[in-house]
């Protein structure tokens, strides 16, 4: 391990591990500092859906990142299992979004009209009869559906582990420690300080601490109000055949994973840093799932998890230079889409660290959009 690496990364979730991967491939010496273990929070317990942004806001600042993410996942699927030795269950999967009331039908129809003009893939509208023919197990409340073929999925823990294993094989080093502060030389951050008091100096620093990014506010002296949004997921032993499509409705979803279990969720809870699965979360998810898929009423609950999404006040990712802190980069705020967007954010971040112009326009996603420097 070099005494002073080129880059220190704080956080061993998907964003930190992917950044380590891209930087190590570029020949940079990287030390990643993780206080728990790789993917021990949201990156290991997410649903693992890969869904490009298909909103109907044409100048959505996340769209370029979303398009890049789609391409990078395809590219990684070709080489990352071999580079890492980890098979992370990447697959393309058609998604079916269903509506259960007239208001949802109108919103879905609006999306459909927009997608017909803009979606770079196949998209089709299904009325009540058609959606029931597609998946006969949906309940009577389902009255329309929108099918799109650009989605995919991964097993999120294995994916993040694959990124880390490949980074490690390319020379990156992991330190199991908590970063509690920074030191400065001539006004610039020169080292991170560990709980033990040890300092690790580096030429550049990437902060990828997920929902704990808010704590780095003090270190940087900037306003970066990223906070945790809890979500829960159930894994069910479901009777009958697997679901052929990835199903979603409102904020909820269900899909059959390669482990043979039907994964479904989710909740959106503002409860601070509490990562405990709750009975209320379980019941809320089950009642919504059973409304859409009544055959799951007696499914056996095999696993119940909870984790925290990192969310900025405007819901957009935060990526780029830390204002007023030369050599410090921020990569977080991925909300519900970090497994999908993480590798693209990481590549942009790696480009910035190296001094290359990123190939993706992320100007609308800078930390400077918050209230500014304190
Ligand atoms: C229920 C649920 C379902 C989801 N489903 C999907 C999905 O289907 N598709 C999708 O794309 N996204 C999904 N997400 C979102 C995705 O999981 C997150 O956006 C993503 O994992 C965030 O990754 P991260 O690396 O930023 O943070 P994390 O995974 O939280 O990693 C941050 C790491 O930093 C470490 N850390 C923090 N502070 C310090 C410190 N001071 N010192 C050392 N280490 C530190 C933590 O221990 C942690 O390991 C889901 C999220 C939830 C909650």
The most distant pair of C-alpha atoms in the chain lies apart, rounded to whole Å, by 69
Asked whether residue 1 carries a pLDDT value surpassing 70, the answer given is no
SS3 content of the chain, % helix, strand, coil (to 5): 35, 30, 40
Q: In what order do the strands lie in the sheet with 49-50?
A: 49-50, 152-153, 91-92
- 318 - beta bridge partners? 332
pLDDT, average across residues 345-367: 95
DSSP, collapsed to helix, strand or coil, labels residue 234 as strand
Beta-strand (E) ranges in 128-275?
Answer: 144-148, 152-153, 173-176, 179-185, 188-194, 199-201, 204-207, 227-237, 246-249, 252-256, 262-265
Distance between CA atoms of residues 133 and 137, nearest Å: 9
Residue nearest atom 4 of ligand 1, based on CA coordinates: 46
Alpha carbon distances (Å) from 100 to 4, 97, 281, 293: 57, 10, 21, 12
Could you tell me the pLDDT band of residue 374, with boundaries at 50, 70 and 90?
very low
| CA of 341, closest atom in ligand 1 | 11
Total-model pTM: 0.97
- Taking the centre of ligand 1 as the mean of its atom positions, its distance from the CA of residue 267, in whole angstroms, is 16
At the second CATH level, the architecture of 7-86+156-226+313-369 is: 3-Layer(bba) Sandwich (3.50)
Domain 94-149+232-306 in this protein, CATH class: alpha beta
Asked whether residue 243 carries a pLDDT value surpassing 80, the answer given is yes
Residue reference for tokens 């590798």: 343
Q: Each residue of 292-321: pLDDT tens digit?
A: 999 999 999 999 999 999 999 999 999 999
Domains 7-86+156-226+313-369 and 94-149+232-306 share a fold: no
Residue nearest atom 30 of ligand 1, based on CA coordinates: 210
**The pairing of beta strand 246-249 with beta strand 227-237:** unpaired
- Taking the centre of ligand 1 as the mean of its atom positions, its distance from the CA of residue 220, in whole angstroms, is 21
Please list every protein residue whose CB sits less than 6 Å from any atom of ligand 1: 10-16, 33-36, 40-43, 46-49, 178-179, 208-212, 231, 233, 265-266, 307-310, 332, 334-340, 342
How is the chain split into domains, by residue range? 7-86+156-226+313-369, 94-149+232-306
pLDDT of residue 55: 57
């Amino acid at each position: 391990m070099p005494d002073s690496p080129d880059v220190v990364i704080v956080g061993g979730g998907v964003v930190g591990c992917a950044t380590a991967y891209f930087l190590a491939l570029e020949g940079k010496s990287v030390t990643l500092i993780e206080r728990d273990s790789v993917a021990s929070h949201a990156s290991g317990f997410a649903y693992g859906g890969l869904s490009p942004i298909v909103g109907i806001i044409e100048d959505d600042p996340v769209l370029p990142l979303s398009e890049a993410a789609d391409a990078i996942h395809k590219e990684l699927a070709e080489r990352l299992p071999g580079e890492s030795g980890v098979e992370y269950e990447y697959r393309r999967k058609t998604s079916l979004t269903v509506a259960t009331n007239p208001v949802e039908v109108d919103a879905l129809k609006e999306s459909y009209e927009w997608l017909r003009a803009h979606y770079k893939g196949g998209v089709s509208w299904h009325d009540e009869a058609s959606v029931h023919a597609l998946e006969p197990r949906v309940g009577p409340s389902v009255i329309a559906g929108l099918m799109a073929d650009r989605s995919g999925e991964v097993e999120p823990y294995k994916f993040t582990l694959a990124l880390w294993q490949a980074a490690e094989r390319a020379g990156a080093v992991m330190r199991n420690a908590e970063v509690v502060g920074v030191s400065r030389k001539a006004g610039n951050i020169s080292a991170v300080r560990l709980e033990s008091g040890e300092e690790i100096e580096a030429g550049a620093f990437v902060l990828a601490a997920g929902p704990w990014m808010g704590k780095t506010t003090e270190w940087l002296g900037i306003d970066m109000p990223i906070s945790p949004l809890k979500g829960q997921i159930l894994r069910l032993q479901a009777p009958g055949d697997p679901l052929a499509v990835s199903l979603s409705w409102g904020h909820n979803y269900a899909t059959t994973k390669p482990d043979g279990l039907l994964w479904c969720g989710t909740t959106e809870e503002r409860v601070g840093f509490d990562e405990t699965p709750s009975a209320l979360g379980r019941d809320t998810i089950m009642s919504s799932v059973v409304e859409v898929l009544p055959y799951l009423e007696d499914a056996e609950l095999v696993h119940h998890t909870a984790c925290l999404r990192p969310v900025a006040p405007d819901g957009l990712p935060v990526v780029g230079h830390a204002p007023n802190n030369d050599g410090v980069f921020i990569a977080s705020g991925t909300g519900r889409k970090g497994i999908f967007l993480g590798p693209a954010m990481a590549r942009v971040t790696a480009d910035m660290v190296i001094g290359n112009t990123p190939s993706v326009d992320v100007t609308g996603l800078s930390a400077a959009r918050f209230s500014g420097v304190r």
